Chains A and B, each alone.
Chain A
């Protein structure tokens, strides 16, 4: 049970996720934010025909976290990381999921991970030997923190990540534009390690209250740690369920967490296929819906932008006669 722990941390009854007040504290109208009377003008949400403008200082150290497990942190890290590389930025992805690492699998680099940061710390290899360069996009590199069965000495878990970021800054090929850290679930030692070097955070949530409660707590911890730039990705969104009022809409989620939106990723069966292939879906051709959404999220991350409009539901498309021929 999470509740006793929560009320212990949070004596404040106004907290919208505390058990008893949670359902009632939300005014019912917030469940249908898109029926609000005065529609503000929508500005364009998608960008394609230009190179995104990198804002902020490099390296941008971004931790991708969630609190709850299995909501898509690793999927987001792989896809946003490779999108950034495709957009021309140099990226180092750090798999800080010490206990259950699987970013290498998603990227299809599992056979090339010989050394990890653990060996670097131990002096078994140099940092450049532990970085696995992706053959598809050579400006993308992967660094795993440790082998699944080795134990990370916590005396310098977080410190080691700071050293690693420092070492990457001063390396001869130049400082990477982005260092993306895949954070483990929970708020245990692994989480603490992963967030230590970060300047900004991407919170991955799914539109269900369990994920949202964890996300809220993690956001609170990140804010306590001084990470103020927190944006969220809402993953596994199903417009059909939202229309049927069976799933919270993205705007409902935003109303509950009060975080800027970096991206909305639809539920997509291509995700599992791309995992099987070890080939992140942003590299798929033809691109899939989720792939496009990840790409747009990466775009916003570069420009430190957030979404101004969200896709709410599918409209029937008027199909011309020649659509029969695939036109």
Chain B
């Protein structure tokens, strides 16, 4: 890292001793420590330490610069260390002396024991904080029952529901790494051994042959009511009988196949059944108006206006109605409420569903 090498040269200016490789890592430790503690102080609920080398590098450089302004003190401290102790301890001391502002305040008076003690204390503090944060993050994890409450599936007065996160770059995933020789893969911090797939084309086709011998099947295309007999020119293998009490399938339908297909293909405009219902209402109103019975029936004027709206928008297409007398039958009995729910009155189940939140 560039910043570290700069820092090293800075240190070398101050201290005549040679600096060992242990220093960079020590630097990283103490600087990250400071980043961490600063973050923690600023916002105690912040519970995730990000290891961002770039950021840390910058901070580290900054702190080195700060310290170099207090040069004379540092130099004295550094040379003392060289005299008394081995290379390792002195470099360690030098690092601590140069980099930790907390130490800067006190290092004039106290010896190395105190510094080491402080280090241990800080390490201990760090461990405690980490344990605390990991425990805390365990509490507000996502996907708990609280989410069911939030979605209205469960009733409860629970609070503290966290927001879901989006993970949105599928093309760059740092959590998956494959080893160079492809023999293992690291996912989510765990390493898995890989074994090659051994299935061959021949085995695959053997299985296919075995299955084609074992199972002869034709997908049923004809569904008839239980008890009905098979129509003449139909392959009996493709017929499936549906009992009247089948949980979700039925053979009865109030709509014919061609019309159903048209409904599926319809791209614009008013859906067929809504249209039919409105037309039926319109006819009813028309009949009422023709008979001049509007007042006698006790229809209040606001209701009458409700009836008139569909009348105007759908007055042009009458010929469709004549094709479907059975539907008109249904819709004739429709109350005004049914134009809020586009279901026919005999379709209880679905209107129930609609009203469900």
Please determine whether A147 and B215 come into contact, CB atoms closer than 8 angstroms. no
A86, A155, A219, A254: the one within 8 Å of B199 (CB): A254
Q: Are B265 and A10 in contact, with the CB atoms below 8 A?
A: no
Instruction: Find chain A residues with CB under 8 A from B13 CB.
Output: none
A247 located at the interface, meaning its Cβ lies under 8 Å from any Cβ of chain B in the complex: no
Chain A min CB distance to B208 (Å): 6
Q: Contact between A86 and B170 (Cβ–Cβ < 8 Å)?
A: yes
Instruction: State whether A124 touches B271 (Cβ < 8 A).
Output: yes
Which residues from chain A contact B199 at a C-beta distance below 8 Å?
Answer: 254-255, 258, 260-261
Q: Which of B172-223 contact A (CB under 8 A)?
A: 172-173, 175-176, 178, 182-199, 203-204, 206-208, 210-221, 223
Of B60-68, B297-305, B347-355, which binds chain A? Answer: B347-355
Which stretch of B86-94, B159-167, B285-293 is in the interface? B159-167
- Residues on the A chain within 8 Å of B343, using CB: 119, 124
Q: Per-residue 0/1 for B236-269: is the Cβ within 8 Å of any A Cβ (1 yes, 0 no)?
A: 0000101000111111110101011101111111
The stretch from A53-61, A175-183, A199-207, A311-319 touching chain B is: A311-319
Partner of B255, one of A33, A122, A147, A158: A122
- Counting CB contacts under 8 A, is A307 at the interface? yes
**Closest A residue to B147 using CB positions:** A277
List residues 299-321 of chain A with CB under 8 A from any CB of chain B: 306-317
Q: Which residues from B are CB-within-8-Å of A50? A: 171
* Contact (Cβ within 8 A) B240 A192: yes
CB distance from A188 to the nearest CB of B (A): 8
A42 surroundings in chain B (CB, below 8 A) = 182-183, 194-196
- The residue in B130, B193, B343 that gathers the most chain A C-beta atoms within 10 A of its C-beta is B193
CB pair A124–B273 under 8 Å, yes or no, is yes
B267 contacts A292, CB within 8 Å? no
Q: Which of B16-69 contact A (CB under 8 A)?
A: 28, 32, 49-51
Instruction: Let me know if B197 and A118 touch, CB within 8 A.
Output: no
Closest residue on chain B to residue A261 by CB atoms:
B197
Closest residue of chain A to B133 (Cβ to Cβ) is: A326
**How far, in angstroms, from A46 to B178 measured CA to CA in the complex?**
8
In the bound complex, do residue A87 and residue B170 qualify as a contact, i.e. CB atoms below 8 Å apart? yes
Contact stretch, chosen from B101-109, B136-144, B306-314: B136-144
Q: Mark A259-295, 1 if CB is under 8 A from B, else 0.
A: 1110000000010111111110011111111001001
Contacts of A192 in B (CB 8 A): 219-220, 240
Contact of B170 with A285 in the complex, beta carbons under 8 Å: no
B215–A220 touching, CB < 8 Å: yes
- CB-CB contacts below 8 Å: A121-144 with B: 121-129, 136
A154-B251 in contact (CB<8A):
yes
Q: Are the C-beta atoms of B212 and A223 separated by less than 8 Å?
A: yes
B132 cross-chain contacts in A, Cβ below 8 A: none
How large, as a class, is the contact surface on chain A? 35 or more
Q: Are B357 and A111 in contact (CB under 8 A)?
A: yes
Do A151 and B167 have beta carbons less than 8 Å apart? no
| B114: interface (CB < 8 Å) | no
Interface assignment of B342: CB less than 8 Å from any CB of chain A = yes
Interface residues of A in 98-132 (CB under 8 A from B): 98-99, 105, 108, 110-111, 114, 117-129
Counting chain B CB atoms within 10 Å of each CB, which of A14, A15, A154, A190 scores highest? Answer: A154
When the two chains form the complex, which single residue of B165, B217, B223, B268 contacts A225, counting CB atoms closer than 8 Å? Answer: B217
Q: Select the residue from A83, A108, A153, A156 with max chain B CB neighbours within 10 A.
A: A153
A108 to B273, CA, bound (A): 30
Given A163-B261, A277-B143, A309-B182: A128 and B267 interface contact (C-beta under 8 Å) = yes
Closest chain B CB from A304 CB (angstroms): 15
Contact A310 B197 (CB under 8 A): yes
Given contacts A189-B246, A196-B219, A286-B167, contact A15 B210 (CB under 8 A): yes
Whether A283 pairs with B185 at a CB distance below 8 angstroms is no
Known: A45-B185, A111-B152, A121-B264. A313 touches B192 (CB 8 A): yes
- A residues bordering B, Cβ < 8 Å? 9-10, 12, 14-16, 33-34, 36, 39-46, 48-51, 83, 86-87, 98-99, 105, 108, 110-111, 114, 117-129, 136, 146-160, 163-164, 166-167, 171-172, 189-190, 192, 195-196, 216-217, 219-221, 223-225, 239, 251, 254-255, 257-261, 270, 272-279, 282-289, 292, 295, 306-317, 322, 324-327
CB-CB nearest 6 A-B residue pairs: A273-B143, A258-B207, A123-B272, A220-B215, A285-B167, A153-B253
Interface, chain B (partner A; CB < 8 A) = 28, 32, 49-51, 130, 141-145, 147-148, 151-153, 164-168, 170-173, 175-176, 178, 182-199, 203-204, 206-208, 210-221, 223, 240, 242, 246-253, 255, 257, 259-261, 263-269, 271-274, 276, 342-343, 347, 349-350, 352-354, 357
14 contacts between A and B (CB under 8 A): A10-B215, A87-B170, A124-B350, A149-B349, A151-B249, A153-B250, A166-B264, A171-B267, A223-B211, A258-B203, A285-B167, A309-B194, A312-B192, A312-B194
